[in-house]
Amino acid sequence: MKGYSFVLLLFLSVGAFAQNSINNYKYVLLPERFSFSKEVNEYGLNTVAKSLLEEKGFTVYFNNTEIPKELAGNKCNALLADVEQRKAIFTTNLTLILKDCQGNVLFKGKEGKSREKDFYASYNGALREAFKSLDDAHYAYNGTTNNAPAATPAPAQPQASAPVAAPPSPVPASQPATAESKEAAGTLYAQATANGYQLIDTSPKIVLTLSKTSTPDLFIAENSTAHGVVSKKNGDWYFEYYKDGKLVAEKLLIKF
């Protein structure tokens, strides 16, 4: 009898896990600043995390941007992504966490580690290592729509007729974040490095450092004042980064 009870309990546990798999979710909501970061998109981590999740097939939105109607009406239709840091003296240690809207952990990846001395390289290296765990999850959206648990209806009470409520205002369609545009300051010349390129002006001075990603025409970028990404749009290159909480898109003229 005890053996039968154990098998039944195991079956129910596996069944509950299967019903709440990451494959049930199409959307992921991502913060623009992780809890261990001092500023928005520090070291370009949040932008890179969004790109890595999208490569796996998720549709990803930052949690402070406009989102689709089906998601705005019920955020339980999305996974909540976070990256946790375990502090250590000589290594950067990051772990990817995916939760449902009630805080239940549906996926916790293996810890990504980096021993690079440069903070930018160390955090980005650990983040990419942490996201490799998603390869083993074999994510594939199965078409399920997750809904929040239905509340128990209160007993009906007789009441006077009430005027018909006006229909809710339509939720605007999803739009990308609006960026402040800046024109190119001059031509920059790309010099190949071990991990990407460095862009120099005619001084010559290094203006921007580019690190390759797994996506063509997308680079992690940084200079002395900003961290972000450089990508190609409609044949032109843009450096996108946050400044004082606002997204800036700076056009670049690059000679490779």
**Token digits for 193?**
């490095």
Distance separating alpha carbons of residues 196 and 211, to the nearest angstrom: 5
Answer whether residue 106 is part of any domain. Answer: yes
Residues 89 and 200 in one domain: no
Strand partners, 222: 209, 227
Residues 124 and 188 in one domain: no
Residues 200 and 100 in one domain: no
Residues 22 and 131 in one domain: yes
CB 227 within 8 A of CB 41: yes
Answer whether residue 213 is part of any domain. Answer: yes
Within 10 angstroms of residue 208's Cβ, the number of other Cβ atoms is 23
Q: What is the pTM of this model?
A: 0.55
- Beta strands 246-255 and 78-86, pairing class: unpaired
Domain-terminating residue out of 105, 137, 169: 137
Domain-terminating residue out of 83, 114, 137: 137
Residues 111 and 25 in one domain: yes
Answer whether residue 86 is part of any domain. Answer: yes
Domain-terminating residue out of 75, 106, 137: 137
Residues 121 and 217 in one domain: no
Q: What share of the chain is helix, strand, coil (3-state, %, to 5)?
A: 25, 30, 45
CA atoms within 13 A on the CB side of 224: 3
Residues 21 and 130 in one domain: yes
Answer whether residue 207 is part of any domain. Answer: yes
Residues 115 and 27 in one domain: yes
Answer whether residue 158 is part of any domain. Answer: no
**Token digits for 201?**
């002006």
Residues 133 and 227 in one domain: no
pLDDT for the residue 161:
55
Phi, psi of 166 (to 5 degrees): -70, 145
Taking CA 92 as the corner, what is the angle to CA 87 and CA 94, rounded to the nearest 5 degrees?
80
pLDDT tens string for the chain (256 positions)? 455 444 444 443 333 333 468 999 999 999 989 989 989 999 899 999 999 999 999 999 988 777 878 787 788 889 999 999 998 888 999 999 999 988 999 999 999 999 988 888 899 999 999 999 999 888 999 887 665 444 445 555 555 555 565 555 554 544 566 778 888 778 988 888 888 898 888 887 888 899 988 788 889 998 878 888 999 888 889 998 888 778 888 899 998 8
Answer whether residue 144 is part of any domain. Answer: no
Answer whether residue 131 is part of any domain. Answer: yes
The domain total for the chain is 2
**Alpha carbon distances (Å) from 86 to 108, 111, 116:** 14, 9, 16
CATH of residue 22's domain is 3.40.50
Range of the domain at 92: 17-137
Residues 210 and 115 in one domain: no
Answer whether residue 8 is part of any domain. Answer: no
